[in-house]
Copies of this chain bind each other. A is one copy, B any other.
């Protein structure tokens, strides 16, 4: 039995099977809800409002996540409510909210030296006296004039070889990659590549001219795997239960769409470089990820790979190769290598920290050319999870906060009435609360004009109901503060352990480079003030944007950088934080707010 399920305000009509949850139905139809737990009924982020039609009765679990007013208005959790008739469903903004993407980044000037070489040839016509196939003509000419040997050709190109040569009136430009001919075209044609930063939340893609290095187009999309759960562990759980195929196909489809979108009015793509954390890397390749979720967190493969795009199901560019930069460990992926490549930390003579903050935060410390990296389980608090009014950095999120003498001011993404707080807003709040002594160094909320007691302890009132875009006051609870303390302690512990292992102190750090979307939008001052980042002069801390994406681009346009990425991956010493003897001590110390 199937029913018509109509989703407002996006206007999607989909087919729903009787007894299925609304969440399952939305996933199947590619509608991304704001779930963090991946449908396990624990995050309460998939709220939907039933406008008409019948669902299964409301459960106790749902009542814990919904206010009385919401229940009255027909709100349900999509992962619990089951379809019993045709439905008309409203997706509230917080459920629909798409995260803000960071595409730009600071790009070092490099020499352009792509993996593809071009050779212009004029081919003679075969005759009865000299019936030389075009292919051999090309091979002989490239051997004679350019010393290229053992050339092979992709079967797809071979099928079109003669007709292409004929259409171009036998004047051709041959694209050679290694010992393989991967393209024959007009010599005036552009040669394009795509650099992709495949993040857990977002996919950032850069269309690049391989021979000028110019970025022609930039596109950011939400990683479609998000419908299978917002964080890495949830996706690993999904894969353990259902295999990796759904996750692989979801991301392949979107990359295909992305390429199709890039290629409007453009010719073929010659090369694609993809970076991502190790789980994203594995899911793209269809490799098992189960073992990445448990000690000893071993990747199936770390080394860089070259794979025909079509072997990954990227059929938009059947001749192109995909180059995947190397991974370092289960929780230090090729995106970290790309970040090091883009920030040139490996070249730095200063003591430099490179950090990409997220659900997993990767930290690298470079001291006199030696680099150590580790990954800290900072958790999803900065993405808004486990925070009462937390949300992704999307429209309606409070992203900056100032508290001065009991007056609160804030800035909301999209300049609308606030519906929640995103990570950068939360950092500001903790920092301000501490400065105003509304919390102590252990994070405990003090009695204050702006705090109030509830059944669950103290809470700080940030926005009153009538100023908010939701039906409640927006508050920070004692629990929320605890979550942020855990997150920032995880990061700081990682930094301190790296410093400790190199035998240097906080004061000896010359610079900190903060990469990634979250790092771009945070107030560095707040981050330093709550002790998440070491206390060094603020002008020694740089926010560089999407360094992973830029690193992918460098590997796209420069063979030298591609080989540098391998050198970096081999050189970086990986620290497994959780088995470090100083971990517990550092962690409990870092929980404090200075």
Binding site for B on A (CB under 8 A): 126-128, 131-136, 152-153, 155, 158-159, 161-163, 285-288, 291, 295-303, 305, 307, 311-312, 329-330, 576, 579
Partner of A131, one of B126, B152, B296, B311: B296
For the complex of A and B, the 9 pairs showing the least CB-CB separation, nearest first, are: A128-B296, A131-B296, A126-B298, A131-B298, A135-B301, A159-B286, A133-B298, A133-B299, A127-B296
B159/A303 in contact, CB under 8 A = no
A298 to chain B, nearest CB (A): 5
User: Can you list 26 A-B contacts (CB < 8 A)?
Assistant: A126-B298, A128-B295, A128-B576, A131-B296, A131-B298, A131-B329, A131-B330, A131-B576, A133-B298, A133-B299, A133-B301, A133-B302, A134-B300, A135-B300, A135-B301, A153-B301, A155-B285, A155-B286, A155-B312, A159-B285, A159-B287, A159-B288, A162-B288, A162-B291, A162-B300, A163-B288
Q: Which residues from chain B contact A291 at a C-beta distance below 8 Å?
A: 162
Partner of A300, one of B158, B301, B311: B158
B155/A300 in contact, CB under 8 A = no
Q: Which residues from chain B contact A302 at a C-beta distance below 8 Å?
A: 133, 136
Q: Which residues from chain B contact A163 at a C-beta distance below 8 Å?
A: 288
Which residue of B is nearest A132, CB measured? B298
A133/B300 in contact, CB under 8 A = yes
Q: Which residues from chain B contact A161 at a C-beta distance below 8 Å?
A: 300
Which residue of B is nearest A160, CB measured? B288
Which residue of B is nearest A285, CB measured? B155
Cα A391 to Cα B329 in complex, Å, equals 68
A-B contact sample (8 more), CB < 8 A, given A131-B576, A158-B285, A159-B288: A126-B296, A128-B579, A131-B298, A131-B330, A134-B300, A135-B300, A136-B302, A155-B286
Q: Which residues from chain B contact A158 at a C-beta distance below 8 Å?
A: 285, 287, 300-301
Cα A161 to Cα B285 in complex, Å, equals 13
Cα A302 to Cα B576 in complex, Å, equals 54
Q: Which residues from chain B contact A303 at a C-beta distance below 8 Å?
A: 135-136
Cα A158 to Cα B296 in complex, Å, equals 19
Cα A285 to Cα B133 in complex, Å, equals 16
Q: Which residues from chain B contact A285 at a C-beta distance below 8 Å?
A: 155, 158-159
A361 to chain B, nearest CB (A): 20
Q: Which residues from chain B contact A126 at a C-beta distance below 8 Å?
A: 296, 298
Which residue of B is nearest A125, CB measured? B296
Q: Which residues from chain B contact A311 at a C-beta distance below 8 Å?
A: 155
Q: Which residues from chain B contact A131 at a C-beta distance below 8 Å?
A: 296-298, 329-330, 576
